[in-house]
Amino acid sequence: MEKKPFVSKEKLEEIIKEFPTPFHLYDEKGIRKNAKALKEAFAWNPGYKEYFAVKATPNPFLIQILKEYGCGCDCSSFTELMLSDAIGMKGEDIMFSSNDTPAEEFRLADRLGAIINLDDITHIEFLEKAIGHIPETISCRYNPGGVFKITNDIMDHPGDAKYGMTTEQITDAFRILKEKGAKEFGIHAFLASNTVTNEYYPMLAEVLFQTAVRLKEETGVHIKFINLSGGIGIPYHPDQEPNDIRVIGEGVRKAYESILVPAGMGDVAIYTELGRFMLAPYGCLVTKAIHEKHTHKEYIGVDSCAVNLMRPAMYGAYHHITVMGKEHAPCDHKYDITGSLCENNDKFAIDRMLPQIDMGDLLVIHDTGAHGYSMGYNYNGKLKSAEVLLKEDGSAKLIRRAETPADYFATFDCFDIGKELIAESNKIWK
């Protein structure tokens, strides 16, 4: 089966005249359609809010689009908090969910009025020392341990995850926080990653709703919101059925009405914290075939590498590849698609059946709109690529320029050698 790119070969050829490969390209039309569908799927809950996971795609131009649909920001670091503040996210538009958190990050979150989501019971004392008080609205991350199953299928192993508090700890944490002046409480949990099933969120909701009822009864706190976090995945493989967000939203509604409403908790807001689902299918890495190698295997070398997309090298993750202009050609050639890093795992695909690839062919690597650019790095002195937005009117807009050697050397600017390197790179880099 084949995935259809959201951009045509003719449009790409037009774009690369202005923005040379490689670059990440994003589909504004698709992003807007998806954000609207999510909002509609949870419209039954008056307090619903999506907090986009900034770590997935930390680009202000893209987050501004999501902001138009009422989305806030889920942040996990100092710079993500800064970015959110800079684009006008205010107060409870920001959820700060981090772990092993430095004091200065808690201080900035507090100054911005963000909702702080504590990962561990020991962080209560740490937070109080850092900011001098306990916020009136606060959240705690829950980890029930063990494995998370849907019917007989194991979805993930939360007991092996470093995140969240045990059942006993979150109960004690709520009591302690209440004694210290907290008035509104939230519960957060992330029990499985990249699930491609409409059943995950409703099952997670049941776990958290039952936990919320128990916590209210045992501690007497008022639970303001339940954050279902992320975990809704996308079909990276072309033969996978995508999630139906409306079916998911309806499943959560049924759990809400059967568990929370009878317990007198029909005022609880539902929050989500999606990254991959919001943007991954609406981004792709555009790259060009520049080398071919015929040894023990058939290799195609492209002008991008794991610096531009780390997931295949890091996880062995599958990303579908389209050879533009050859969508209907037979996939009768077996290739490894490689980058130029001095690492043998720098491969976008291994033993992938594709049409014959000629030098200069454009390749679209699908589903890089989340955890694509954001996971980039500078090994081998490689530079991160540009990000480009394909606007609804068909025009292309640069939303992040490509790095230059001056960027790579910028952290040496306090030394004479750094100043020389930056000056020289600015002369010779085109």
Q: Domain 282-417 belongs to what architecture?
A: Beta Barrel (2.40)
- Confidence (pLDDT) at 154: 55
Cα 300 from Cα 339, distance rounded (Å): 9
Strands 298-302 and 333-338: parallel
Cα 142 from Cα 207, distance rounded (Å): 10
- Confidence (pLDDT) at 394: 96
- Confidence (pLDDT) at 381: 96
Domains 28-280 and 282-417 share a fold: no
Residue 331 annotated among the catalytic residues of the structure: no
Averaged over successive runs of 10 residues, the pLDDT of the chain (430 residues) comes to 92 97 98 98 98 98 98 98 96 95 98 98 98 98 82 65 92 98 96 89 95 97 97 95 97 98 98 97 98 98 98 95 97 98 97 98 98 96 97 98 96 93 88
- Confidence (pLDDT) at 173: 98
- Confidence (pLDDT) at 430: 65
Residue of 140, 284, 305, 342 marked catalytic: 342
Q: For the domain bounded by 28-280, which CATH number is listed?
A: 3.20.20.10
- Confidence (pLDDT) at 162: 87
Judging by beta carbons within 10 Å of its beta carbon (0-12, 13-18, 19+), is residue 30 exposed, middle or buried? middle
- Confidence (pLDDT) at 191: 83
Which pairs count as long-range contacts for 2-10, CB under 8 Å and 24+ apart, including other chains?
2/238, 2/322, 2/327, 3/238, 3/320, 3/322, 3/366, 4/322, 4/327, 5/284, 5/322, 5/324, 5/364, 5/366, 6/30, 6/282, 6/284, 6/390, 7/284, 7/364, 7/390, 9/324, 9/325, 9/362
- Residue 56 DSSP class: G
Contact predicate 366/311, CB 8 Å = no
Q: Which of 311, 309, 290 is nearest to 382 (CA)?
A: 309
Cα 339 from Cα 336, distance rounded (Å): 10
User: For the chain, which residues make up each domain, given as ranges?
Assistant: 28-280, 282-417
Instruction: Mention every residue, 6+ apart, whose C-beta is less than 8 A from residue 188.
Output: 97, 117, 139, 140, 141, 142, 226, 227, 229, 273
Q: What are the phi and psi torsion angles at 131 (to 5°)?
A: -110, -5
Which pairs count as long-range contacts for 125-131, CB under 8 Å and 24+ apart, including other chains?
126/101, 128/180, 129/103, 130/103, 130/104, 130/106, 131/106, 131/107
